[in-house]
Amino acid sequence: MSSVVNPSKSEDPPSSSSSSSERRRIEQLPEDVVNRIAAGEVIHRPSSALKELLENSLDAQSTQIEIQLRDGGLKTLQISDNGSGILREDFPVVCRRHTTSKITKYSDLQEIPTFGFRGEALASVTHVARVSITSMTANQNCAYRASYRDGEIISKDPNRCEALPCAGVKGTQIRVEDMFYNVPIRLQALRSYSEEYNRCLDVVSNYAIHNTNVRFSCKKMGSSKNDINTMARGKSLENVKIAIRTIHGRKIAQEL
């Protein structure tokens, strides 16, 4: 004869979370959570942030791009170029999502001559790191600087959210610090500073080989030696070979 199990003795009472009457309501996520999730889809590690910033520099018609990194780019990632720069009046919106100078209407998507166009890169970085921008255009008498958090300028005076004048040269310098300071789980997924630095070197190497009309340099912050240092030679197959030889060495270049 089969025995009957008394459920009151062998099973725990159902928790309130498993009860259908306690089912959680569908709610819209707060904007800061949405933006941080969106940033994680674009910025996975320092090298992905560097890729986005490099493309911005190239789209600005830069002929010289310098990168410096500390702790694989996690502590500091700084990129400086001699491109067209950012107008002072554009500083308040430059790090907001979907702000861009690349397109103005949907039909522009049919023919895009630039790397990026969605206006996601800088916005995403500001949601996972501390960002400061210094920039000067050819027509300005001085450079301007501003710091950003969550897409907006950080200002002590909420009525004057604008860039402040400073010394500088034509072009733009973007400094990214303490990457993923507010996303600790992302930091835990990264292995080491050296691996992240090597990933950044790979990104710079690839862009340097495909853009031989631009001078690229990359090094660890505080070091006197560049780990990548190419010259701007113009676009040609021969100059691509020279760039490969400069970056990867003569032996690899000879095998191509």
The C-alpha torsion from 113 through 247 and 73 to 67, rounded to 10°, is -60
Does the pLDDT of residue 192 top 90, yes or no? yes
**How much of the chain, in percent, has pLDDT values that exceed 70?**
77
Average pLDDT over residues 140-153: 94
**Domains, the chain, ordered by start:** 31-254 (3.30.565.10)
**Cα atoms found within 13 Å of the Cα of residue 4, Cβ hemisphere only:** 2
Q: What is the dihedral of CA 46, 52, 58, 63, to 10 degrees?
A: -10
C-alpha–C-alpha distance, residues 78 and 148, integer Å? 15
The pLDDT tens digits for 101-141 are: 555 666 666 666 666 655 578 999 999 999 999 999 999 99
Residues ≥6 apart with Cβ < 8 Å to 226 = 217, 218, 219
Q: What is the mean pLDDT of the chain?
A: 85
